[in-house]
Amino acid sequence: MGSSVILKINFRGGIISPGDLFNILVAAGRCGVAEVKFGLRQQMLIELSVVSAQRLSEALNELGIQHETSVDRFPNIVSSYPAEEIFINQTWLSEGVYKDIFDSFEYRPTVKINISDSNQSFTPLLTGNINWVASIQIPHYWHCFIRLPKTNSIYECNTLVYSNDIAMMSRKLEVIMNENSGSINSKKEPDVKALFDGILSGSVLSKVAPGAAVLPPFNLPYYEGLNRYNNNKYWLGIYRRDEMYPVDFLKALCKVCLDTKIGQLCSTPWKSIIIKSIEPNHRTLWNTVLARFHVNVRHAANELNFQVEDHCVEGLSLKHYLLKYLNDTDTRTFGICIGIKTRKKSEVFSSILIRRRSLFNIGDKGFFNTYDILCAEEFNPNKRTAFVFSRNNPKWLLQEQLRRAILSYYNMPVVEQVKPAARNKAVMQEIVMTGAWECPACFTVYNEQSGDEGAGVSAGTSYENLPDNYCCAVCEEPKSGFKKQVAAKSLETI
């Protein structure tokens, strides 16, 4: 589309009013929009010309719909609400609690905020800058994980916060993050104490956490099709292979929702839609709409396991290329999420991450691409990237290398998950071995004992003997900036 822009509409927590969505779609259609997309942070993305974007923006202003064009100053609040009841059971976190929390945000956050049930892996837990994870032990209280902007390091606060205070606490944390952005972005050791000191006050209901939050093992449910739940209800999941949703199709969905008194649709972090609370006698209406627009809702499970950056044609094409090989080799992918990253500053939720790198660039155009394969600790995408499986793969070799990375997941020994012991002090520690060097940008560790096989560095290679062009496997920070770590260190005490 020649000169185009992206117009973004946030749906807080992934909840979409069918009435609002219908009005948005009518306005978009009048501006010549035939298809729209949903993004990784549960928002709607509309690509259109500059002139049409101006017209649509004016129409949305008249409707009172907040939006942004070609900027992302106000990231959407991501939540696990779409999975509530259908993928999450036996939890105190109900629909009413979610909505009370969303309603308490009387401002538009400028940092990424995630609000998630701890008893699920459908929605990413820690991809935000401020991540609230519901306590398993104490109802209506939440763990808080902080990821400083432009870093890959997670800090857990040892104080649980009450549901009604999440919005207020998020705002305080955001202010402190913005005020300290200079020191955070300088790649020096972040002043965690300055970040956390003073955010708790007498007006905040809080408790000392009985222990660290337990991250659930990753297990992505099949999120497509018309499925029964709660004995007498159905939910409908819709995924689109090309990520495009026809405007007329979505309008038809909205009409069925309104006609059958369904008050909401949900967008998910998998760029899909979920509609809950469908009555058994209304199943025919939904099947009729799917048939009328030729929408398939039974894709292979391994196709649903991929995460691709928003508005990324190259990433989507690579996904289909890799998927064909996995299908041809009949490779099992259950329990794994595969991410594709083509941009330096993007973030993709993944157990196995495929990262594209160009040997050289001219402007924004890269040439002679190679691909690294990185794996998360224990292949759990909520635990962040931990090691490089394979580096500098040409595209023709990438398919088989990905298959081998997947096989390594199934070759892992099965370890029973043990709940961490209770603690009385909020001491955050990062344990590093003697002879380890830490990247100042993303805190990835180079261990002299292990080396870096992916970079051709054998075990036992000292930091001084690393090649001059050696860089961080995760963020490509030059070797010269690494800091030596010799023992366990306490980052800060809250």
State percent of the chain over pLDDT 70.
85
User: Which pairing describes strands 206-208 and 154-162: parallel, antiparallel, or unpaired?
Assistant: antiparallel
Looking at residue 321, its amino acid is Y
Least confidently predicted of 96-100, 251-255, 410-414: 410-414
Q: pLDDT tens digit string along 106-139?
A: 999 999 999 999 989 899 999 999 999 999 999 9
Q: Which residues contact 464 (CB under 8 A, 6 or more apart)?
A: none
Q: At residue 1, does pLDDT exceed 90?
A: no
**Banded model confidence at residue 188, pLDDT cuts 50, 70, 90:** low
Helices (H), 105-237: 166-179, 181-185, 192-196
Q: Please state the rounded mean pLDDT for residues 365-386.
A: 85
**What per-residue confidence (pLDDT) applies to 43?**
97
- Strand pairing partners for 385? 376
**What per-residue confidence (pLDDT) applies to 162?**
95
CB 11 within 8 A of CB 24: no
Least confidently predicted of 306-310, 355-359, 466-470: 466-470
Give me the sign of the Cα torsion angle 92, 94, 96, 99: positive
CB 41 within 8 A of CB 76: yes
Task: Output 445 or 462, whichever has higher pLDDT.
Answer: 462
Highest mean pLDDT range out of 207-216, 236-245, 405-414? 236-245
User: Nearest-CA neighbor of 424 among 150, 230, 212, 201?
Assistant: 212
CA distances (Å), 226 to each of 86, 298, 352, in order?
12, 9, 29
Can you read off the two tokens belonging to residue 384?
């962040």
**What per-residue confidence (pLDDT) applies to 53?**
96
User: Which pairing describes strands 352-362 and 365-376: parallel, antiparallel, or unpaired?
Assistant: antiparallel
Q: pLDDT tens digit string along 349-371?
A: 999 999 998 876 666 666 788 99
Q: Please state the rounded mean pLDDT for residues 201-214.
A: 84
CB 454 within 8 A of CB 446: no
Highest mean pLDDT range out of 182-196, 356-370, 387-401, 453-467? 387-401
Q: At residue 153, does pLDDT exceed 70?
A: yes
Q: pLDDT tens digit string along 222-246?
A: 999 999 998 889 999 999 999 999 9
Q: At residue 72, does pLDDT exceed 60?
A: yes
**What per-residue confidence (pLDDT) applies to 195?**
65
C-beta atoms surrounding 391 within 10 Å: 19
Task: Output 86 or 449, whichever has higher pLDDT.
Answer: 86
**What per-residue confidence (pLDDT) applies to 419?**
42
Average pLDDT along the chain: 86
**Banded model confidence at residue 486, pLDDT cuts 50, 70, 90:** very low
Q: pLDDT tens digit string along 4-16?
A: 899 999 999 999 9
Q: Which domains does the chain have, with CATH numbers?
A: 88-208 (no CATH), 303-410 (3.30.413), 427-493 (2.20.28.10)
Highest mean pLDDT range out of 216-220, 287-291, 295-299? 287-291
Looking at residue 192, its amino acid is V
**What per-residue confidence (pLDDT) applies to 181?**
64
**What per-residue confidence (pLDDT) applies to 421?**
36
Starting at the edge strand that comes first in sequence, how are the strands of the sheet with 483-485 ordered?
A: 445-447, 436-438, 483-485
